[in-house]
């Protein structure tokens, strides 16, 4: 009898525990919010209803445009330097005027002409030294042509310089401008006086003027007299050459 009573109590307690557990499970299930995927949040997990964070897509990288023909203009060609012909009077021909002490015009002319060519080349011009007579002068074309000479010792006190162009010019305005540049720049460089009234026929009808291309601007310059102006022509030859070179550059640059 006692054993039956104990079993009955045990069965009753188990039944009560089962009912209570079932009730608790039902209550717990109804009080938890559902997850977005239909599941149920675990106990203690956040239940604020936040959805999963949305992943922001990376911006598409646009490649930089490569260089185009418009962005890379073709460089302009470098213009060719001015060509200049410089004659050393009497060079490779004869002595020219000769003073009583043996000083020769050809020696002075060559020294000055070579210096003029060197100065012009240094300044970027295509200058070349030419002899008095040469087949190269026939039809010679250049931006400027200048023949360099010196006056004799016949009149010891005579001083000054002369510049001339051909008498009948195909391009008188151009050649007048070349003469004017030489007169101005050479006079300033040397301090010598310009003697326009003593220009000779041999200057205006200089043989090379009739050999070179008629459209090559040409001039002839008598640098000074070998007696009174000797110190300038022999001891200060660089100043003399500078004056001639500046006169040529003045013409070429349109000054």
CATH number where 193 lies: 3.40.630.40
Average pLDDT of the residues of the chain: 83
Higher pLDDT, 26 or 200: 200
pTM, 2 dp: 0.71
Counting other chains too, the contacts that 98-105 makes at CB distance below 8 Å and 24 or more residues apart are: 99/152, 99/153, 99/226, 99/227, 100/153, 103/153, 103/226, 103/230, 103/234, 105/149, 105/150, 105/152, 105/226
Residue 63 has pLDDT above 90, yes or no: no
pLDDT of residue 36: 44
Question: 53-57, 90-94, 242-246: which has the minimum mean pLDDT?
Answer: 53-57
pLDDT tens for each residue of 91-146: 999 999 999 999 999 999 999 999 999 999 999 999 999 999 999 999 999 999 99
Q: How many Cβ atoms from other residues are within 10 Å of residue 81's Cβ?
A: 15
Structural domains of the chain, count: 1
Range of the domain at 137: 88-252
**Residues 73, 23: Cα–Cα separation, whole Å:** 88
**Residues 127, 82: Cα–Cα separation, whole Å:** 8
Residue 53 has pLDDT above 90, yes or no: no
pLDDT of residue 255: 81
For residue 76, is it within any domain?
A: no
For residue 172, is it within any domain?
A: yes
């Amino acid at each position: 009898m006692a054993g039956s009573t104990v079993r009955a109590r045990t069965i009753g307690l188990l039944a009560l525990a089962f009912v209570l557990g079932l009730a608790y499970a039902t209550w717990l299930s109804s009080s938890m919010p559902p997850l977005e995927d239909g599941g149920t949040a675990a106990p203690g997990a956040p239940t604020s209803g936040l959805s999963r964070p949305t992943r922001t897509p990376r911006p598409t990288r646009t490649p930089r445009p490569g260089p185009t023909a418009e962005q890379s203009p073709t460089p302009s060609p470098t213009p060719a330097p001015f060509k200049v012909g410089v004659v050393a009077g009497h060079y490779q021909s004869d002595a020219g005027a000769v003073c009583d002490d043996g000083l020769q015009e050809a020696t002075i002319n060559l020294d000055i002409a070579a210096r003029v060519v060197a100065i012009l080349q240094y300044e970027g011009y295509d200058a070349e030294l030419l002899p008095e007579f040469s087949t190269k002068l026939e039809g010679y074309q250049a931006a400027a042509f200048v023949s360099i000479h010196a006056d004799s010792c016949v009149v010891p006190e005579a001083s000054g310089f002369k510049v001339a162009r051909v008498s009948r010019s195909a391009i008188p305005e151009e050649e007048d401008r070349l003469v004017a540049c030489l007169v101005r720049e050479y006079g300033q460089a040397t301090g010598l006086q310009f003697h326009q009234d003593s220009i000779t026929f041999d200057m205006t009808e200089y043989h090379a003027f009739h050999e070179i291309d008629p459209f090559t601007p040409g001039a002839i310059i008598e640098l000074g007299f070998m007696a009174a102006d000797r110190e300038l022509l022999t001891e200060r030859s660089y100043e003399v050459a500078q004056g001639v070179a500046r006169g040529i550059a003045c013409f070429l640059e349109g000054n």
